[in-house]
């Protein structure tokens, strides 16, 4: 799967558009992936700005970081960054989710958005 509707020029009737980029990320995307990993997720919901996550992987192709970008409100960049750390024996040693509090009720920017850190989370 590569696309749901058109993110660059959404139809007014579309409530949601998404583009999965593998080997052709934008400037705010992750490193191009030629192995099936997603390098960037770009989406737009009706009434909201175009947003994206740039994905970064370790040498074993495990997701290690996702960086959030807002195409219109650049001051929101980094608001929902995620960092996943681990060793060679465990995939998830700690997960760090970061979100800045906001006064709006739009998902995922609700008032309950906060920093959360899980340590020594082993599967």
How many domains is the chain built from? 1
CATH of the domain at 12: 2.40.128
Q: How confident is the model over 84-99, as a mean pLDDT?
A: 58
Domain limits for position 86: 3-119
31-78 pLDDT per residue, tens: 899 999 999 999 999 888 999 999 999 888 888 899 999 989 989 898
Higher pLDDT, 108 or 26: 26
Nearest to 90 by CA among 56, 61, 58, 122: 122
Nearest to 36 by CA among 16, 55, 17, 51: 55
What pTM was computed for the model? 0.68
Sheet holding 3-4, edge to edge: 3-4, 16-21, 40-45, 51-57, 63-70, 82-85, 94-97, 116-119
13-28 pLDDT per residue, tens: 889 999 999 998 988 8
């Amino acid at each position: 799967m590569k696309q749901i509707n058109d993110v660059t020029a959404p139809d007014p009737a579309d409530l949601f558009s998404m583009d999965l980029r593998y080997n052709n990320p934008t400037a705010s995307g992750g490193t191009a992936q030629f192995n099936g990993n997603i390098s960037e997720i770009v989406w737009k919901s009706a009434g909201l700005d175009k947003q994206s996550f740039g994905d970064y992987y370790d040498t074993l192709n495990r997701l290690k970081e996702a960086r959030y970008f807002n195409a219109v409100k650049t001051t929101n960049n980094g608001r929902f960054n995620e960092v996943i750390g681990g060793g060679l024996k465990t995939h998830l040693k700690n997960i760090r989710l970061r979100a800045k509090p906001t006064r709006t009720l739009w998902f995922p920017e609700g008032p309950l958005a906060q920093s959360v850190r899980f340590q020594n989370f082993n599967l």
